[in-house]
Structure 1
């Protein structure tokens, strides 16, 4: 019987959260995998051996018998290509990926599994943001647009790979859906002011290339979706927007400058560990124009991402899910997710006149 759950990147920040959650439910069946067996072994000892160590490089060829006892893979690393995903699908292994990179996600979407379930958009953004928009759609009779706003605290210690992804997208050009048509936009432009809470106040958030805005027009049939980002430090957010406006962010592509910026974000502890995801979904209810506003708040974004991935994994592992490639909002209900996460985040919602 196939029982193994392999968490690739399982001894990283997010991976540890996933392994801890699944290890409690399925002790001795969960494997923290990565290129360093020593790090995997150290983490395994910390869990009392409920989570087992495994050396694995997903960018190298994988022997066919590797998947013999594997039921599920949870991917916490950014893949260079989709060969490993194809290997999982070819061996009837369920696959869950927390990537926020739509260039990777779009390639995985092209796979057609015969028996495996592949789930994408798992984490905070995408993930919780997708579910917040779905919650808004569930409340309204018609949806005209959805605006997503993400606030991240600069005091949180993020993994270097996550920081590199953010830095690489500071000067990105991308397209979004606006009234059913594609519109070309650029990161850290077109700022909008949004009230995040009494504690955080109003902050200006700017366009950013999160994958949720590319996915939701497909999965929920929305004509317009946008995602914007800001940090708890208004000074840092404004500085990046100013550098963008002056055309200076283009220099971030230079390897030396990129490294310096990544180092700066990695070492900076000036800020809080808070995160907020808020959506403003406009549409109609009972013939009236209204707007749904939903928000989640918590601390330590990596914990939220790990808990969401664990929620998806335990549901797929315990239940029969249909074969195919899905985004999280296509298989799960927002209220069930938010109830499961109530110990680590707060959720509130309201419907207002437009």
Structure 2
């Protein structure tokens, strides 16, 4: 394959860790792409990297058309609003790794499976922590139950971590829109941050109120493990902040997000608050997976958890390791989710010092 790896957003909160880890894993030429030459060059100079910068805008085809001839793999560290750039890469037979948590983007890319296969090219989706480690953990737990009947995934995010603009946009977009999901063979309308569930995280965190949220894990587990009744929940490591979001949702505050001016204002206020909270709160995150089902005609319950710190750092390392495997002969063509190609043990062996796993 062509040698160079292009990291879109390689100087951002996650991208910088992708670059850092790839520099350790491979001697392949690295290129970081994005709109801000100033930020990119400052990042390169500050870290004394021997990498280059490619100015481009993923929404303007003229900015990258004809400039990717030496690129063999693209790593998308942004959350794009459409898949036009990914489609261009596919037509150029460039391998693609996407970290987007958006169900819409994941679904649109997955529909290109036959096109990727025809071009002998791979696209890997759901690479990171959630989705990513979360779906790998669910995969391991479900092996212990013959017929899973209910899978619940709860994510606790740390307010002390870096919160980029893409992450805030993702949060607000999901708070604004209800979603439909199949539960017990019934397509139900679910209001985000309204349905409460008591989640028992490991003893270091203990019991938390988590709330319904449209995490991509629902879609991925349903497709890859062929399970019905998958539900996902979200909370923050600040109970106060979690309940504040719930009450704002309960009193329909987030309906105002449909007005562009108010959306911009809420985005700015949220960004400001998160920049303040990271000074005082921990960056600890946690994933809890609870699976119920039937084995030997007996109802069973199995669970597992992952706890770590610095979500963006581990996300970047997982992406880099995945990219390294692609460039070193991962012999697959088509569109895959991370959990279809790897096992949790692969990343535990490589980065087990950065997170802990507990099974119950």
Q: Cα deviations across residues 177-202 of structure 1 (Å, max 9, x unaligned)?
A: 31344221011011111122322221
Q: Tell me how far apart the structure 2 counterparts of residues 43 and 258 of structure 1 sit (CA, whole Å).
A: 26
2:285 match:
275
| Contact residue 210 and residue 234 of structure 2 kept, 8 A | yes
In the alignment, is residue 284 of structure 1 matched against residue 316 of structure 2?
no
SS of the residue 2:123 aligns to: strand
Q: Tell me how far apart the structure 2 counterparts of residues 230 and 71 of structure 1 sit (CA, whole Å).
A: 38
Q: Tell me how far apart the structure 1 counterparts of residues 201 and 137 of structure 2 sit (CA, whole Å).
A: 15
SS of the residue 2:308 aligns to: strand
1:71 match:
72
TM superposition shift of 1:338:
2.4
1:10 match:
10
Q: Displaced runs of 4+ in structure 1, greater than 6 A? A: none
The structure 2 residue matched to 1:123, chosen from 109, 124, 128, is 128
The structure 1 residue matched to 2:152, chosen from 147, 155, 174, is 147
Q: Which moved more, 1:18-27 or 1:202-211?
A: 18-27
Q: Tell me how far apart the structure 1 counterparts of residues 138 and 49 of structure 2 sit (CA, whole Å).
A: 39
| Contact residue 5 and residue 28 of structure 2 kept, 8 A | no
The structure 2 residue matched to 1:296, chosen from 306, 324, 342, is 306
TM superposition shift of 1:34:
1.2
1:265 match:
274
1:85 match:
86
Structure 2 runs not aligned, ≥5 long: none
Matches for 1:203-282 after TM superposition, within 5 Å: 203-253=208-258, 254-255=262-263, 256-269=265-278, 270-282=280-292
1:334 match:
344
Q: Tell me how far apart the structure 2 counterparts of residues 83 and 246 of structure 1 sit (CA, whole Å).
A: 37
TM superposition shift of 1:64:
4.8
2:36 match:
36
Q: Cα deviations across residues 83-136 of structure 1 (Å, max 9, x unaligned)?
A: 211111111111000000111221111212121100111111111111111111
After TM superposition, the score normalised by the length of structure 1 is: 0.93
Q: Tell me how far apart the structure 2 counterparts of residues 281 and 6 of structure 1 sit (CA, whole Å).
A: 38
After TM superposition, the score normalised by the length of structure 2 is: 0.92
TM superposition shift of 1:247:
2.3
Structure 1 runs not aligned, ≥5 long: none
State the number of aligned residues.
350
SS of the residue 2:5 aligns to: strand
Q: Cα deviations across residues 188-241 of structure 1 (Å, max 9, x unaligned)?
A: 011111122322221100011111112211111001111100011111111221
